[in-house]
């Protein structure tokens, strides 16, 4: 799992009446939207170059992602040997299924990000132990708030955890955030009374929902802790709101299909 150094979940615009032109498409990197997308995904896929390619180097950037997870041996060896590698992270999130009057008007509302940067191994030594502990606490609390204070002491476990620090290159990263549907309803269909009376148009909100906690076989605590039940309640409500906002957003029209 990987976590940005701050969190904000993306939200969609509420529906409105009146004409709705096509939403602007942009590749401009938006740090806050990207943080929301990446931090909402429990699994990230990182892509490293297969050979020693030249890559754009840039001044140290305060935007940082900390990644904890399995590193394949070839990547692990190269990181330790050269000290840094270019890396690409991609994450996407669907908010609703959009169902218009035609196949052309069928799709999703979604948000995605592609982050490019430089990955550095996090050294295991007494010099970096305090920082590694702080990073692990942050990763745990990004997963579930207050998680780091509701487990046994990490102790020397932190010495055996694989952590990679990724410095983000904002000029080479991109965010695609369109709260309205990325499909186009044709004006001729919208103005056709027969089409409107015979076919359903709308959207289905889609969100990640957390269920009730199930105790482990070794558990001796009677009930799930408050920090966990609060997280489930708050996150389910936020995910539902974001999905319904996106599904309720106005539709763009196809200027060609008018």
Q: Which domain holds residue 178?
A: 2-254
Where helices occur in 118-225 by DSSP H, the ranges are 126-143, 187-190, 193-198
* Poorest-pLDDT segment among 68-72, 180-184, 242-246: 180-184
Give the SS3 label for residue 175.
strand
Tell me the torsion sign for CA atoms 72, 5, 233, 9: negative
Q: Select from 22, 8, 212, 178 the least CA-distant residue to 95.
A: 178
What is the Cα–Cα distance from 30 to 4, expressed in whole angstroms? 13
Q: What is the CATH number of the domain that holds 27?
A: 2.30.110.10
Give the SS3 label for residue 246.
helix
pLDDT above 50: residue 174: yes
Task: Determine how many CB atoms are found less than 10 A away from the CB of residue 216.
Answer: 8
- How many structural domains compose the chain? 1
Q: Select from 37, 30, 55 the least CA-distant residue to 117.
A: 55
Instruction: Give, in degrees to the nearest 5, the angle at Cα 142 between 140 and 148.
Output: 30
As given in the structure block, the two tokens for residue 148 are 């780091």
61 contacts 120 by C-beta, under 8 angstroms: no
| Prediction pTM value | 0.71
Give the SS3 label for residue 132.
helix
Using a pLDDT cut of 90, give the percent of the chain over it. Answer: 22
pLDDT above 90: residue 110: no
pLDDT digits (tens, 9 = 90+) for 130-157: 888 888 888 889 889 999 999 998 878 7
Query: β-strand 185-186 against 253-254: which pairing, if any?
Result: parallel
Most distant pair of Cα atoms in the chain: their distance: 73
What is the Cα–Cα distance from 68 to 49, expressed in whole angstroms? 19
DSSP 1-50: -EEESS-----PPPP--S--PPPPP-----HHHHHHHHHH-S--EEE--S
pLDDT above 50: residue 12: no
As a whole number, mean pLDDT of residues 22-39 equals 66
Measuring CA to CA, how many Å separate 237 from each of 25, 207, 217? 29, 10, 29
């Amino acid at each position: 799992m990987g976590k940005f150094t701050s969190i904000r979940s993306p939200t969609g615009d509420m529906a409105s009446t009146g004409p709705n032109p096509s939403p602007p498409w942009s590749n401009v990197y938006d740090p806050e939207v990207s943080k929301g997308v990446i931090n909402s995904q429990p699994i990230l896929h990182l892509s490293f170059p297969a050979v020693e390619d030249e890559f754009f180097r840039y001044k140290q950037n305060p935007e940082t992602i900390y990644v904890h997870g399995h590193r394949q041996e070839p990547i692990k060896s190269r990181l330790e040997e050269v000290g840094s590698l270019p890396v690409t992270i991609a994450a996407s999130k669907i908010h609703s299924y959009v169902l218009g009057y035609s196949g052309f008007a069928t799709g999703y509302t979604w948000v995605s990000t592609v982050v490019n940067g430089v990955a550095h191994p996090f050294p295991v030594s007494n010099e970096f132990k305090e920082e590694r502990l702080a990073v692990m606490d942050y990763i745990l609390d990004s997963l579930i708030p207050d998680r780091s204070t509701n487990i046994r002491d990490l102790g020397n476990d932190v010495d055996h955890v694989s952590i990679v620090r990724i410095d983000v290159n904002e000029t080479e990263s991109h965010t695609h955030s369109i709260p309205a549907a990325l499909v186009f309803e044709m004006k001729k269909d919208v103005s056709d009374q027969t089409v409107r009376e015979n076919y359903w148009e709308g959207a289905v909100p889609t969100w990640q929902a957390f269920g009730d906690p199930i105790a482990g076989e070794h558990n001796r605590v009677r009930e799930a802790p408050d920090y966990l039940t609060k997280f489930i309640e708050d996150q389910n409500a936020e995910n539902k709101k974001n999905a319904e906002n996106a599904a309720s957003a106005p539709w763009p029209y196809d200027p060609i299909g008018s």
